Amino acid sequence: MPEFLNLLPPDAARARWLDAITHRTKLEEVSLAHALGRVLAEPVHAPHPVPPFARAEVDGYAVRASDTYGASDGLPTYLQVVGEVAMGKAPLFQILPGQAAIIHTGGMLPMGANAVVMVEHTQKVSDGEVEILRPVAAGEGVIVVGEDVEQGQRVLEAGVRLRPAELGALAALGIVEVPVRRPPWVGILSTGDEVVPAEQQPQPGQVRDVNSHTLIAIIRQAGGEPVFYGIVPDDAEALYERTAKALDACDMLVITAGSSASVRDMTAAVVNRLGAPGVLVHGVNTKPGRPTILGVANGKPIAGLPGNPVSALINAWLFVLPALAHLQGQTHARPAPRLLAELSINLPSEAGREDWWPVRLSQSGEKWIAEPIFYKSNLIFKLAEADGLLRVPADDTGLEAGRLVEVFLWG
């Protein structure tokens, strides 16, 4: 039986793989309504300042700040009210010394005014007069021109994945069409003489195809476009023909099963036939997922994942999802959702190997408790019970109960 030549730590394996991926998905323009989750292909510069006019930050009275100096509850300043600023319109009057105008949050500051006194710090005397009960400085209660964004300022970098906040920022600038990367098309194949479609009744010795469905879901959830190329029997030429077709049409290829070190292992040989440089990693020093294959053919990434459902899904999270971001040119990665939890029991580990454990989360008072789920890698329902994944670093021989651990939230 052939043995792995070199088991790489997962971070090193991922870095080697991503560095060799030169392919990128094509650029396209989409409307803001369809841009959520897409990766920006070009930087964005502000065509005008935001806000484009000085506006009130609070409800109150627009004033000249110098008219309020010395005002207090015991010795208020009296100002003449000369009007009210209508929302959505430029005021047609100006504020002269000794004058004020009613203004609402977001209203345009009248000419001559340079501050807004909150309504809580005023007392209406009559329709034409107001008491000012505290002084304000110039600029107080006001959002000045360009305070959010200056004209010409670079507001978004290429490589940013667009969230609701970024879409709102683009709308504020009047940018309703944005250049983004097309979602990666990911070809998916399941292999094995024993694997049958999920809708088929398995015969003795056969198993339903689980991995294609979990991979399709995780890729679609991450913004990719999965394309299923079916189940391929354990035949080298059949596998090569199907993978060549899938890789030609797609941006990435994911194969499950056929990656263990055995006489039936054809995946590595097929990856090497698909194009240079071929297999870059055959074996990752992690549990689960030790027999993972990572390769590149003509700039496009290929992942050979273990056939066991738990191993396949966890290693798709570790390797396939970063590759999807890389294909879209995402350079501003944001941290995965995570939280700190107290480990419920002692968790053993093998020194030198990075372990990933599914965990259940529960609350005890104000703290979270992480309960490891002990499993065999072909038992998918154990992973379905998990709320997150717990990483045991390679330099640890285990984690003791009560230790605070970082849980990466799942799904």
Left (φ > 0), alpha (ψ -120 to 50) or beta: where does 168 sit? Answer: alpha
Return the pLDDT at 410: 80
Unique residue bearing structure tokens 């010395």: 70
Residue predicted with more confidence, 251 or 396: 251
CB-based burial of residue 33 (10 Å sphere; 0-12 exposed, 13-18 middle, 19+ buried)? exposed
Looking at the predicted structure, is the pLDDT value of residue 378 above 70? no
H or E segment to which residue 382 belongs: helix 380-384
pLDDT band at 172 (very low <50, low <70, confident <90, very high): very high
Tens digit of each residue's pLDDT (9 = 90 or more) over 277-331: 999 999 999 998 888 999 999 999 999 999 888 889 999 999 999 999 999 999 9
The CATH number assigned to the domain with range 28-47+152-181 reads 3.90.105.10
Return the pLDDT at 258: 57
Same fold, 28-47+152-181 and 55-143: no
Return the pLDDT at 259: 53
Looking at the predicted structure, is the pLDDT value of residue 3 above 80? no
pTM score: 0.85
Tens digit of each residue's pLDDT (9 = 90 or more) over 52-79: 999 999 999 999 999 999 999 999 999 9
Return the pLDDT at 336: 86
* Mean pLDDT value across residues 86-98: 96
Domain spans of the chain, in order of start: 10-26+182-327, 28-47+152-181, 55-143, 338-409
Contacts with 123 (C-beta within 8 Å, 6 or more apart), sequence order: 76, 130, 131, 133
* Superfamily of 338-409 according to CATH: MoeA, C-terminal, domain IV (2.40.340.10)
The CATH number assigned to the domain with range 10-26+182-327 reads 3.40.980.10
Return the pLDDT at 263: 34
Range 55-143: architecture per CATH: Beta Complex (2.170)
